[in-house]
Structure 1
């Protein structure tokens, strides 16, 4: 895929700098679709994919204040990614970091948000994983807005999690650091998956437990080390989370279990959704996982067997149980989103023409300056000629004029990229249109129009799934923008 490079915006990808590592499976994928082989990315690639590590793209629990920040991003081939950027003091040994990342990168499983690659340049240490768009278990369990998680879905979550741990154990990766509700993510279909980031410690000293000490495995407090049995203990705390809908300290939960006060442990939102026997069995499993002595806890294989027998509504897709619209059935509500869905280029043109340049605020302050060099004035004249051509639907001239402005202009304008993107679409140049729409997003990460235009270009390229994902992203950004405007009034 080509990309447009200017002196103002770096290329979105530098293919010659990325080195492909040897495929540990000899090209055979394990239960995880057609994922690419683990690779090394350049720092510039990941910087561009995340729009310069924009604050708007942070998805970690504690935002910018997190010791290791996670960003969402998008590669030039439209693959959506999650990028974990470690703090500067973590992993001083680059060789150790790369070796660990390569080992985790060998794993490929449908129950994981798999590791796609890493970056190890100078003192930068970054991991790249699949991006799952439907939030974390913590969000759906503790901070739900429309509906609480159903019992059948809670059982599915713990089974998928147990299967993920059993797969990792079978591949020699039994250690998982700081297993909690934020490590479980939901994919496009609403299926729960375990983040691969927890398979690598957060730093060379292995101090990865950031949760409250009340939830930390007792042996970790004694030794400072994570063991496979510690992971089972943390699994027990997640069983309690799913049963209660709250984050209950294990010691308190065990007191309630000993007093046979199971009702206090059960989420009131689940009333009538499960039998006493099912509830009792889940409590029993949690109690076994939370045993003080590590050797008395079950292993992941036995947990899979026990949880498989408890499953309900197995024929119902996860997105239905979760109340999540299927990606392919998503329908935008705004006129621009609808126009992009229909690939109605005439309607898109009318909307972009109406919007003018009001979305360039913060990007084009230089336009108010009165003093220009001859070159700058000439560049602005190119933009004005491009606008006239765009208005009169002379899209070939618009492309030529906007290109002159992009190459020699004194400032960066996402709207110019948007207009040139549509002009390319009008001339059946969908790939060039996609490149421009992505450049517009690099300049303005939260600009919904850039995502919508990417959708239109992707529809033209017959990339239906990617187009619907871009459409959904545009609608989400547009809704956030509308909410911010309403709250600001």
Structure 2
């Protein structure tokens, strides 16, 4: 299970990754880091360990790395160490000693992922600080572990556990990558649901706000973990039904009521989960760039009519699975996705209920259908951690 520490520092995220209040994909913000967010943590290179302001247990303390050590760990941030690049900056593969955390030669020690913020990025600074505040306090099997940070001069970096299988996005959509099986897809759905359920059960609850296939990372055994908490924020408390924010997230995944009003609730995450579940079922992207501007431009637009029709539901299934899935399980997963994608957030299930339904589905001993119509009995595989 996980540790849910006291509430993170409040942050004012300045801008969206891919969506704005007007659904403008290219929106940018001129808002810089606020005084309150700058004072949340004291980040100095002279300290070896940082404890977030509200971490009373000290169980989730972070390591403070020097820039030189991270430069050495990543072979001077060379191109051959590059794992990926996004709005925040670049992510590099590095090697450090498991105990001292000092840089080691490639192939020795443990592998880490080092995210390097683009200098002068105001949005990136806020998201960097949010990562430190949230992942510095929260521990769960289905959240990527943040090992430490670097804050020297204008350099801001984060050091994470390395996830060797990369993102779910790559396994679902990248050409040349072997398709993942039905069972692996459902295991991933359960892992994501566990991570979100944990966040929503914290006190106060945490809304992830940017669930998408590229933020779901996979370890060597395809166990899934949520990454990138730059847009996470504290949810409503007391008698409040929602929190009002500037709309941020990713088009195709964001809940319609949030896009329309800026009202954010845990049910916003549930909608995004429904989109991811639909991606797992169909093998199609949440937003098909080739269809942007047409009537049916999102996966939800295309999929919801099929999900609601039991006779046509199987048309959404990814053909790359070769029909190797239980029709009963597929229908149950499709029905769950449809409930998560309900237009009215009040009618969406909670993530706790979603997790319960998925775990029930995975415990099924239904018959697995194969392409040649032969049937074999199966029992749920043991999950390893």
TM-score (normalizing by structure 1): 0.53
2:329 maps to 278
Contact map agreement 1:104 1:196 (CA 8 A) in 2: no
1:251 maps to 301
Structure 1: how far apart are the matches of 2:222 and 2:186?
A: 14
How do 1:295-306 residues align onto structure 2 when only pairs under 5 Å count?
A: 295-306=346-357
Secondary structure at 1:118's aligned position in 2?
Answer: strand
Report the CA distance between 1:152 and its aligned residue: 1.1
2:91 aligned with 1:70:
yes
Contact map agreement 1:49 1:76 (CA 8 A) in 2: no
User: Which structure's residues are more often helix, by fraction?
Assistant: 1
User: Which structure's residues are more often strand, by fraction?
Assistant: 2
1:219 maps to 257
Question: Which of 71, 74, 90 is the matching residue for 1:47?
Answer: 71
Structure 2: how far apart are the matches of 1:83 and 1:71?
A: 5
Contact map agreement 2:77 2:92 (CA 8 A) in 1: yes
How do 1:51-450 residues align onto structure 2 when only pairs under 5 Å count?
A: 51-60=75-84, 63=85, 66-77=87-98, 78-87=109-118, 88-90=120-122, 98=129, 101-143=132-174, 145=176, 147-171=178-202, 172=204, 174-197=206-229, 200=232, 208-209=248-249, 211=250, 213-224=251-262, 226-248=264-286, 249-260=299-310, 261-311=312-362, 313-316=379-382
Contact map agreement 1:18 1:41 (CA 8 A) in 2: no
Secondary structure at 1:80's aligned position in 2?
Answer: strand
Unaligned runs of 5+ in 2: 1-44, 99-108, 234-244, 287-298, 364-378
Aligned-residue CA RMSD in angstroms?
3.2
Secondary structure at 1:47's aligned position in 2?
Answer: helix
Secondary structure at 1:113's aligned position in 2?
Answer: coil
Report the CA distance between 1:46 and its aligned residue: 2.1
Structure of higher RCO (CA pairs closer than 8 Å, 6+ residues apart): 2
TM-score (normalizing by structure 2): 0.65
Taking a change above 3 Å as real, the CA distance of residues 158 and 44 of structure 1, as seen in their structure-2 partners, is: same
Report the CA distance between 1:290 and its aligned residue: 1.0
Structure 2: how far apart are the matches of 1:66 and 1:99?
A: 15
Unaligned runs of 5+ in 1: 1-15, 29-35, 320-489
Question: Which of 20, 30, 50 is the matching residue for 2:49?
Answer: 20
Aligned length in residues: 289
Contact map agreement 1:183 1:198 (CA 8 A) in 2: no
